[in-house]
Amino acid sequence: MKALTLISLAVVLGACGGSFPPPNDQVASTQGAVRAAEEAGADKDPEAELYVKLAREQLDKGREVMTDGQNERADRLLRRAEADADLARGIARSKTAAAEAEEAKKSVEKMTGVDK
């Protein structure tokens, strides 16, 4: 009787612990992060482009392993892809801001007659 109880408990715990829901929300979040990186100009900067490329590849791989039922692995891949996309967006925005600041500085110098 004791052995049967232990076996039943093991089966119940195994069934509960083995299921990981499909990370559909993470897919959507990752797609949004990739889109945001692209809109920020990540494809125009070599460093940012590398990270957005990695994000796209990991997004594709995450979708692929989801279809195989490997939802936990897919979730990890998708989270990493989102982080890479966020990094790409940050790099692109930083480079854009630096270029705009330099342009504004030149404009002010031109208006005030101060040249370097």
The residue ranking higher by pLDDT, 23 or 14, is 23
The residue ranking higher by pLDDT, 12 or 105, is 105
Which pLDDT value is given to residue 90? 97
Instruction: Report how far Cα 34 is from the mean position of its chain's Cα atoms.
Output: 7
**Is the pLDDT reported for residue 14 higher than 70?**
no
**Is the pLDDT reported for residue 12 higher than 90?**
no
Which pLDDT value is given to residue 102? 83
pLDDT in tens, 44-102: 999 999 999 999 999 999 999 999 999 999 999 999 999 999 999 999 999 888 877 88
Which pLDDT value is given to residue 15? 47
The residue ranking higher by pLDDT, 25 or 2, is 25
Which pLDDT value is given to residue 13? 46
Which pLDDT value is given to residue 100? 79
Three-state SS annotation for the chain: CHHHHHHHHHHHHHHHHCCCCCCHHHHHHHHHHHHHHHHCCHHHCHHHHHHHHHHHHHHHHHHHHHHCCCHHHHHHHHHHHHHHHHHHHHHHHHHHHHHHHHHHHHHHHHHHCCCC
